[in-house]
Structure 1
Amino acid sequence: MNDITTRSGVVNITDLVDNQKLGKFFWNIMALCLLVSLGDGYDYTAMAFAAPAVIKDMHIERGAMGWVFGAGIVGIMLGSIVFGYVGDWLGRKRAIVIGCLYFGVLTFLTMFVRSLDGLLWMRFIAGIGIGGAVPNAIALINEYSPRRYRATMVTVMFVGFLLGTGGGGYVAAGLVPSFGWQSVFFIGGVVPFLTGIACIFALPESIRFLASQNRDHAQIVALAPRLQPGLVVDANTKFVLTEEPRPQRFNFRLLFSDDRRIATPLLWILYIANSLALFFLSSWMPVLLEGAGLPPGHAALAGSLFSIGGILGSLAIMRFTDRYGAIAVALLPLLGIPVVGALGMPGIAEVLLLAAVFIAGACTAGAQSGIHSVAGMFYPVSYRANGVGWALSVAKVGSIAGPVIGGMLLSAHLPLPQLFLIAATPLVVAFVSCAFLGWVYLARFAKQEDAALNAPAGSMH
């Protein structure tokens, strides 16, 4: 047979994935998950970009739109949890397909809503699907990526989400003047729906998931040679995973079992703290910089620089994350603390201010991508989608609190230097929790993985 297969006809799936040469099969999975992430990111912010035209068309008060935004985020929180269960029950592929078709249809139907209440309920219901697709895409990419590239590949996939969130502004600017706000939701409905259809035919199920659940042996037999061409397997071949305990039905307490009783709280604190800083800054940056004296056009440019910085920061950190884990991610909030604090300095030159905004985006949005890339490493295949889903749901606490706290501080008319110092404070918490999380991974989880990888085949699950 092959060196991955023992004489007894046993194929080690973990070795098969880790030793694969990244070819057409893997990049097909990446391309589809990137499209899922892109559509998800676009729909995440679609209402924000359509809001000015919606307010004018429906004669809605600006403040009332806050309820629509809030309903969408609550739906996303719920969806992250619900689809975590779906992904660990039915599989990553089915959860991704259901999520894409679901939020694609509901986003499309948003075009026909004509009331504030209708918008509120539609965004809440659509949000369930929007929140559910990405956790399962993260799990799928995690489970098909070689260990040496795992964080890099999750980060590359999540760049699609960042491009989607930023791309909505360009779509709105190009289409809304000619076709109305409905055009934003037409694009936001059609793209994920077509992506979901493509996933039905072209996206494979996670081979790790299938092996961990002892499901569909024939499908594993079909998938294994695609990871390593030339591998000979048949109906009698046994497939094993080295790093996995025996599968068990998900229970919430599993998120806090063994070493996860330390890792999960740290991961949740990290997500909340970084999300709070990220969404505080991304929501209020143009307003704050106009208050600092920047012309409106330059303040809007600063918002774009913040997003671009986030994308480049994500790409810059990914290879270091593969090597050093969360320890590498911790460097971003550490750098972000003085940079964000300096944004409020009086008399700072505009070019330096814009450079600082770019770096702040790299540190906050880049860290968010880094957190996504390491989150799945703390949970076994049997409940990885649940672990990531719960973490992303908890992160929405920071996503909601950031803009709200920013609005409260603006209403209090605090001096600009004080506002940015407050915005930098969550990054202190993010750095400390991320550094500890990295230490926990290196001290506990990495050693367990190494021990499992060196275990004899007969002792594997």
Structure 2
Amino acid sequence: MSQCLKEMINEHPMRPFQYLAIGVCIVLNMIDGFDVLVMAFTASSVASEWNLNGAQIGLLLSAGLFGMAAGSLFIAPWADRYGRRPVILCCLALSGVGMLLSAHTQTPLQLALLRGLTGLGIGGILASSNVIAGEYANKRWRGLAVSLQSTGYALGATFGGLLSVWLLTHYGWRSVFTAGGWATLATLPVVMLCLPESLDFLLARRPAKGVAKLDRLAIQLGQPAPGAFPAATAAPQAAQRSALLQLLSAQTRRTTLLLWGLFFLVMAGFYFVMSWTPKLLASAGLSAQQGISGGVLLSVGGIVGAALIGLLASRWRLETVLSLFMLVTAGLLVLFACTASSVTFALALGLLIGLAANGCVAGLYALSPMLYGASVRATGVGWGIGIGRIGAILSPSVAGLLLDDGWQPLHLYGVFAVVFVIAAAALLLFLPRPEVRQPGALSNA
């Protein structure tokens, strides 16, 4: 029965409940996109109220990313032990409370701590929703499904940016955090009603009361309810080790370390662009609202980019498409550094950079679940995202320090263009071919 159900998901056309599960994951990423970038949207207003310098702004931008790193590293692996769905529910509650409390902070330290708390929940949500979107897509469209799930981040950032402009004008920066907090908590009933538990998790972990969930999934797949888990087979010795040790075993160490390096580089470049662009455009002579508009256009382009890389990956190798997106991003960043003093060019290039940079992140999100088996998939994805968050933490802070040291704002884009070039070279040169990946991992269709 287990092979029958998994084959139904992998080989047969998508069913409505599979689309619904992926749709819920898109909504989760929309919430995350707004929650993550709320600090970028409000940075200028917060800095003005508290008279903050560049390094202090950078630390506030990094605080949420630090929490996201911790959530991806230490909370996301719980999804391999307790289930994807309960982890997502707990993390949603944590993020919503963190956002609401952030609206009432009185000092930069309080805001930084609460941004860390919010990020902790976001880190758990991102890894778990990314995994479950891939697990409910069929083999042919798995890369596209995870990429479309990533468009939720850009959608949330786009709508969040537009809402932020209006809220900042009428009610101040605290209202932006309040709106984000209530939107996050409102997602809880949607997840409870519409997001099923992962079939891969149920078959791998056989949790208590999991048979009823397995029966419901079987019926939704057009199969008779099995009424019990399939007969257990002897687990290989590797399965008895911790998930992290399995990721670093001789069989998967090279792939895991490369994935960590790619996430580190791409996230460093991506979060520099997304976090600092509104502020740097204002520093380059544009108005604060034009700066925010540039940040919004980055996200608008990201909606197209995340979907585009998924469509291309359904026809060509995802690794090749992803490396091309990295090189295009690098070229656009160099061009942006040369022309961003013009409002028209800055906004147009912001749209294209958002397309390419978000495509890079979506491509990594689509690639990472394909490299690991079900028993360690959330851990593998979580640790990849967590290591990436370290790069995301460092890049805004380093940018703030360089600005305080006298660097011209737009010159920083050239520095991070080099980061994307290094990532593309590493991906092309060192990623193992699909046929030598871990047995049981998802194949790239």
TM-score (norm 1): 0.84
Contact 1:266 1:436 in 2 (8 A): no
1:17 is aligned to: 9
Worse-matched range after superposition: 245-254 or 399-408: 245-254
- Mapped to 2, the partners of 1:210 and 1:316 lie a distance apart of 32
How far has the Cα of 1:310 moved from its partner? Answer: 2.3
1:382 is aligned to: 375
C-alpha distance after superposition, 1:96-127 (max 9, x if no partner) = 11111121122222233333332222222222
**Residue 211 and residue 105 in structure 1: after superposition, are their counterparts in 2 closer, same or farther (change >3 A)?**
same
Specify the code of the residue in structure 1 equivalent to 2:392: S
**Residue 104 and residue 412 in structure 1: after superposition, are their counterparts in 2 closer, same or farther (change >3 A)?**
closer
- Mapped to 2, the partners of 1:39 and 1:364 lie a distance apart of 19
How far has the Cα of 1:397 moved from its partner? Answer: 2.1
How far has the Cα of 1:346 moved from its partner? Answer: 7.1
Structure 2 residue 173 is matched with structure 1 residue 181 = yes
Tell me which of 351, 360, 383 is aligned to 2:353: 360
TM-score (norm 2): 0.87
Contact 2:71 2:120 in 1 (8 A): yes
2:419 is aligned to: 426
Contact 1:259 1:444 in 2 (8 A): no
Tell me which of 326, 331, 338 is aligned to 1:333: 326
Structure 2 residue 211 is matched with structure 1 residue 220 = no
- Mapped to 1, the partners of 2:133 and 2:284 lie a distance apart of 42
Contact 2:333 2:353 in 1 (8 A): yes
- Mapped to 1, the partners of 2:343 and 2:170 lie a distance apart of 35
- Mapped to 2, the partners of 1:166 and 1:120 lie a distance apart of 23
Gaps of 5+ in 2: none
Worse-matched range after superposition: 215-224 or 294-303: 294-303
How far has the Cα of 1:277 moved from its partner? Answer: 2.1
Worse-matched range after superposition: 103-112 or 62-71: 62-71
Contact 1:46 1:184 in 2 (8 A): yes
Gaps of 5+ in 1: 452-461
Structure 2 residue 82 is matched with structure 1 residue 90 = yes
How far has the Cα of 1:411 moved from its partner? Answer: 4.4
Specify the code of the residue in structure 2 equivalent to 1:426: V
Structure 2 residue 148 is matched with structure 1 residue 156 = yes
How far has the Cα of 1:192 moved from its partner? Answer: 1.8
How far has the Cα of 1:388 moved from its partner? Answer: 0.8
How far has the Cα of 1:132 moved from its partner? Answer: 1.0
SS of the residue corresponding to residue 147 of structure 1 reads: coil
2:306 is aligned to: 314
- Mapped to 1, the partners of 2:104 and 2:405 lie a distance apart of 39
Worse-matched range after superposition: 142-151 or 107-116: 107-116
Tell me which of 46, 65, 69 is aligned to 2:61: 69
C-alpha distance after superposition, 1:230-286 (max 9, x if no partner) = x22332673899xx9984453422112244211111111111111222233334445
Contact 1:248 1:382 in 2 (8 A): no
How far has the Cα of 1:158 moved from its partner? Answer: 1.2
Contact 1:143 1:208 in 2 (8 A): yes
% identical aligned pairs: 26
Specify the code of the residue in structure 1 equivalent to 2:420: L
C-alpha distance after superposition, 1:404-449 (max 9, x if no partner) = 3333444454578864432211111110122245x51424128866
Contact 1:211 1:239 in 2 (8 A): no
**Residue 92 and residue 296 in structure 1: after superposition, are their counterparts in 2 closer, same or farther (change >3 A)?**
closer
Aligned length: 438
